[in-house]
Every structure is written in structure tokens, then in C-alpha cells.
A and B are shown apart, each in its own frame.
Chain A
Amino acid sequence: MPSRTIRVDQLTRLEGEGAVKLVVRDGRVHSAELRIFEPPRFFEALLRGRSYSEAPDITARICGICPVAYQMSAVHAMENALGIEVSGPLRDLRRLLYCGEWIESHALHITMLHAPDFLGYDSGIDMARDHADAVRRGLTLKQAGNEIIALLGGREIHPVTVCVGGFYRVPRKRELTALVGRLQWARAAALETVHWAAGFEFPACDRDYTFVALRHPAEYPFNEGRIVSSDGLDICAAEFEAHIDETQVKRSTALHAQLRAAGPYLTGPMARYSLNFERLSPIAQEAALSAGLGRRCTNPFRSIVVRAVEVLHACDEALRIIARYEEPDEPACAIEPRAGMGIAATEAPRGLLYHRYRLDAGGTILEARIVPPTAQNQAAIEEDLRRFSGEFLTQPPQRLRQRCEQLVRNHDPCISCATHFLRLQLTGP
């Protein structure tokens, strides 16, 4: 049987290190593997024996791109264990912090990591020489997100002000108001980015994904909501482990997740968008429809447009939060440690991020479990490679490798979070 192996030994423009191996037999893709070989990072074990109050700062260190997501899932889980509910301006500030992270993470991925695939460049720097305005716009957008995080979090990377119960310090109204001009510019730039990305050429690669995302009654989800799927799943975060199994596979140091009832699933921007379209702000809905997205997005190559829509929504939501902000009396709720189990899921830029902690009476962490979005998406990414890389097998080897990388980059994996990425190995003639 004629066969060949195609390897991408260093997948680039991704966070972390991994590889792809395709086996082609009789001109068809026989198997596709996303290999993650970074050593495990043992964060869950590292948390044991530490105080509940340390979890936001320890887990933030899992990722330099999405530390806010780790902090948010950690504080919500701890507050769930301690019987606290954070509301009003403190809850709004958390949403604002998340807006900052989505803006900076998505703007970086759209502009520097994903767009070069569509425009035929090896890197964002090469692309910048011919598309300077678009790159300048993308980086300035990212900077707008950074500014939100720096103001609320004390610094741009690994913010230090988030604590269980609220914040160590909250901003003055005038400090937030100072961001308005920049965010109004960012909202207009995000709208331009939606239309810029929508103008790329997208291969006809649609798939009936099982999408999983949070859904809140009224909000496009950041911090809160039930976990829902396109197959009818509708559970609270506490039921996550009863419906989703994690298993170890030899090719990955990150556990693979699947729904007990429906198998592999996809979390992230496409899932959030398709399950929550009507909760996007009106300007984001209108931009998405005029960009030709529809109310669901099932073509992974179009995820770049979905990310741009989410940036637009995040800019608009940030402006809304700032406009109604009233300084809270206290920066955080009082905490009384107690024994218990705490569970929460929030929406990291890359998708659903689940945390569970068990505490003793003094608030010491006895057990921790963290399920990052990239780990959950591994099987769906492999299925994309299996289904869609066949379209590109007749292309020259370099172009084929690039397409395989793009199939992975469509989902903006963060391998550092999942354990860390990327090498393509293709087997066959």
C-alpha cells in the first residue's frame, strides 16, 4: 500500500512546542496526530498545601498570554468554596479585566500569528513590510487591551491586583475614564479588523462541530454562565466532571478531553460565538453579519473573523462598563476560610477554563484540578487535520506543511497552558 509521512517538526506562531504527524495512504489522510511533548508542569500538585488566597497568583503563571483567565477561574472557584458572591462594580471590573485580555490576546493572534497564513507570509514581521497599516492597527489594538490590564491589574503581564473576594486595589473613576478615548479608537479599529479579516480567502471547510461554551442569560460569556453545547448539554460548572472525561494519550503530555455522550468537542471563539450570537453587542452582531459570518461559524479558517468580532464586542463592552462604573466602598469582600469544594469555569480567549479546588477548614488547598481549553480542543484539532488536510495533499510540500500548521493555528492553541507546541510529520507517498 503506497504511503508517506508528512512531518512538521517545528510548528511556529503558536504558544509552546509540539508537532503534527500525518499518515497518507492511497492518496488519503489515514491518520493525523497533534503531538504535544512538552514536559508536564505539575501546577495542580504545586497548589496543594498553599493557601486559597495564593491560587490566583500561582495559576496566573501558567500563561503569559491569558493569566487573567486563570485568575478569574481561580477566584470564582475559591469564592464558590467559601460561599461568597461578588457583585456590583467588583464583578464589572472583573469583566473589564477579561475584556482587556481578550483584546490583547485576540489582536496578537489575528495580526501576528494567523493573518500571515492568509496573506502568504512566513511571519508577521514579513507581512508588516507590505501591510504596515494593518499591523500597526493590530498592535495598537493589542496595546489598548494591555492598558486595561495594566490599569486594573497593576501590570500588563501576570497582573497582581486580583484576589479572592475582589481586588487588592480598584481604580478611581477618573482613571478608567482616561481609557475611554483609546477604547473608542479601539472599537473603530476592531470594526475595521472584522472587515479586513472577512476579505481573506477561506477554503470551503465546514464541519459539524460539537461546540461547548458558557452561556449567561443576558451577557456574552466571560466569567459566568452554564456550560452548554450544540448537542443540548446544559449543566452547571459543578457537573463538568460528570459529563467530560479526560484521558491520557501517548502522543501528548496534555490530557485529551471528551464529552461522555458526544465525544470530542470544540471550545473557544467559534463555540462561544455560535452558542451566544444573540448576546453579542449590537455593533458586533451587525459587523459579523455584514462580514458574512452568519449566526454560527463552522469553518475553522473563519475563526479569525470570529476573533475580530469578539475584539469588537470586548471594546464595546469595556466602554459600557466604564460608563456605568461607580467606585465600590471596599475593594474586596471579607473572607472567612472554611472547608469545602469550589468549582468554576470561565471563558479564556481560547475557550472554557475549568478549575476545581478542595480546601481544609483553614483555607489550605488539599486538591486542585485545572482543565485548560487547549487540552479540551486537542481531539477536535486532530479531527480538523484528518478531515481537511486531504484538500491540500496535491500542493507542494512547503505549502502543505503551512496549511497543516494553519489548521492548528485556526484554534490558537496555547500549549504552554495545556502542559506547552509545534513539529508536522506526514507519512505517505
Chain B
Amino acid sequence: MRRRMVIGLGNPSCGDDGAGRACVAALAGRLPAEVELIESDGEPAALLALLARAREAWLIDACRSGAQAGTVRRFDVTGHPLPALAVPHSTHGLGLNEALELARALGMLPERCLVYAIEGCSYRTGASLSQPVRAAIAVVAERIVRASAR
């Protein structure tokens, strides 16, 4: 049976890039039991495999678009691609957007798929999360708690 899942993406060793995974950690114990909490480094084949077994997915990732740090954007990608947000490209140019569009092309996209993008400001190796991003994580976590209860 396809599941409901929250997938936090990023690298916790690179400052605000760890926002998605920190949000998943903040959601522990706060969601209905059937909602899986997953941390992922965003490797596209692995992410695709996750999406293939989800019927509803919330994905959380950091982004770098030039907006004010801590800005939260919510995108419903069920029917439309993720807009270009200057998310840094991953290895071989396969990042979150490519994984989502591959899932769509292959008929593996969940019936409902939402992306929360948190604007970061510091991606330095070894840095901790910036204060605006910490605040944004709490906001996103709260929104997902409410949405998943529906």
C-alpha cells in the first residue's frame, strides 16, 4: 500500500542545507502514526524509490533564490513542475527538480506531492543552522502537523 511520508532533504554538515532534515527531526512524535518521517541526502535514484511508494508526500528542502533568509515557500508539484528557485544543482545536474520530473514522467509521483522550500543564508561546511532558518523550520513543522491531521 502506498504510504504518506515527510521527506527532509539536505546535508546537515553544510549549515542551512540541513533545514529539511532538521524539520523532519522536529516532527518526531507529532504526526499520525502512519506518516513516515524520512531523512534523505537527496540522491535522485533513492529519492525516486521513496516517491514511488508514497501516495502523499511532503518534501522539505533548503533553497537559495535571493529572498530573505527564513522565507518559506510552499509548492504543490502534483500537477506542475517546481519553479526554478536557484536550488544548487546536484551531481550530474540531477537534483530535486529532476527527481520530481522523472517521477512524473515515469508515473511514480505521489497522488499529492508538496514541496516546502526554506530560504537559507549560510551553507558553509560545519556551520549550524542560521537563526532565521531555525524559525522557519518551526513554521513548516507546524504547517505539516496541521496538514497531516486532515
- The judgment on whether A and B are partners is yes
* Pairwise interchain contact A136-B106, C-beta atoms closer than 8 A: yes
Does residue A319 face the partner (Cβ distance < 8 Å to B)? no
- Closest beta carbon of chain A to B91's beta carbon, Å: 4
- Closest beta carbon of chain A to B43's beta carbon, Å: 5
Known: A143-B46, A156-B41. A15 touches B102 (CB 8 A): no
A149 to B107, CA, bound (A): 27
* Pairwise interchain contact B45-A139, C-beta atoms closer than 8 A: yes
- Which residue of chain A is the closest to B91 with respect to CB atoms? A64
- Closest beta carbon of chain A to B69's beta carbon, Å: 26
Identify A12's interface contact among B43, B45, B93, CB under 8 A: B93
* Pairwise interchain contact B46-A125, C-beta atoms closer than 8 A: no
Known: A13-B92, A112-B94. A132 touches B106 (CB 8 A): yes
Residues of B within 8 A of A233 (CB): none
Residues of A within 8 A of B85 (CB): none
Does residue B36 face the partner (Cβ distance < 8 Å to A)? no
Identify B41's interface contact among A65, A104, A112, A157, CB under 8 A: A157
A371 to B90, CA, bound (A): 24
- Closest beta carbon of chain A to B138's beta carbon, Å: 28
* Pairwise interchain contact A113-B106, C-beta atoms closer than 8 A: no
* Pairwise interchain contact B48-A112, C-beta atoms closer than 8 A: no
- Closest beta carbon of chain B to A232's beta carbon, Å: 36
Does residue A155 face the partner (Cβ distance < 8 Å to B)? yes
Mark A122-158 against chain B: 1 for CB-CB distance below 8 A, else 0.
0011101100100110011011001000000001110
Identify A125's interface contact among B49, B90, B92, B98, CB under 8 A: B98
Does residue B147 face the partner (Cβ distance < 8 Å to A)? no
- Closest beta carbon of chain B to A408's beta carbon, Å: 14
* Pairwise interchain contact A139-B105, C-beta atoms closer than 8 A: no
Chain B contacts with A in 43-84, Cβ cutoff 8 A: 43, 45-46, 48-49
A126 to B106, CA, bound (A): 10
Chain B contacts with A in 93-119, Cβ cutoff 8 A: 93-94, 98, 101-102, 105-107
Identify A15's interface contact among B41, B45, B91, B105, CB under 8 A: B91
A113 to B92, CA, bound (A): 9
Identify B105's interface contact among A129, A142, A146, CB under 8 A: A129
Identify B43's interface contact among A112, A135, A156, CB under 8 A: A156
A132 to B104, CA, bound (A): 11
* Pairwise interchain contact A65-B92, C-beta atoms closer than 8 A: yes
- Which residue of chain A is the closest to B97 with respect to CB atoms? A125
- Closest beta carbon of chain B to A315's beta carbon, Å: 16
On chain A, the number of residues with a Cβ less than 8 Å from chain B's Cβ atoms is: 27
Residues of B within 8 A of A15 (CB): 91-92
- Which residue of chain B is the closest to A15 with respect to CB atoms? B92
- Closest beta carbon of chain A to B40's beta carbon, Å: 10
* Pairwise interchain contact A128-B106, C-beta atoms closer than 8 A: yes
- Which residue of chain A is the closest to B98 with respect to CB atoms? A125
Known: A125-B102, A132-B107. A156 touches B46 (CB 8 A): yes
A104 to B102, CA, bound (A): 17
Residues of B within 8 A of A129 (CB): 105
A135 to B101, CA, bound (A): 13
Known: A13-B92, A13-B93, A64-B91. A132 touches B105 (CB 8 A): yes
Does residue A108 face the partner (Cβ distance < 8 Å to B)? yes
Identify A108's interface contact among B41, B46, B92, B105, CB under 8 A: B92
- Closest beta carbon of chain A to B115's beta carbon, Å: 17
* Pairwise interchain contact B46-A65, C-beta atoms closer than 8 A: no
Identify A124's interface contact among B90, B91, B102, CB under 8 A: B102
- Closest beta carbon of chain A to B113's beta carbon, Å: 16
Residues of B within 8 A of A416 (CB): 91
A316 to B91, CA, bound (A): 27
* Pairwise interchain contact B102-A135, C-beta atoms closer than 8 A: yes
- Closest beta carbon of chain A to B48's beta carbon, Å: 6
Residues of B within 8 A of A113 (CB): 92
A156 to B102, CA, bound (A): 20
- Which residue of chain B is the closest to A63 with respect to CB atoms? B91
A146 to B40, CA, bound (A): 13
A245 to B91, CA, bound (A): 30
Q: List 14 A-B contacts (CB under 8 A).
A: A12-B93, A13-B92, A14-B92, A15-B91, A108-B94, A112-B92, A125-B102, A132-B105, A135-B106, A140-B49, A143-B45, A146-B46, A156-B43, A157-B41
Knowing that A126-B105, A135-B106, A146-B43 are A-B contacts, what are 13 other residue pairs whose CB atoms are under 8 Å apart, sorted by A's residue number?
Answer: A15-B91, A108-B92, A108-B94, A124-B102, A128-B105, A132-B106, A132-B107, A139-B48, A139-B102, A140-B49, A143-B45, A156-B43, A157-B91
In the A-B complex, the 9 residue pairs with the closest CB atoms: A128-B105, A64-B91, A142-B45, A129-B105, A143-B45, A125-B101, A139-B45, A132-B106, A156-B43
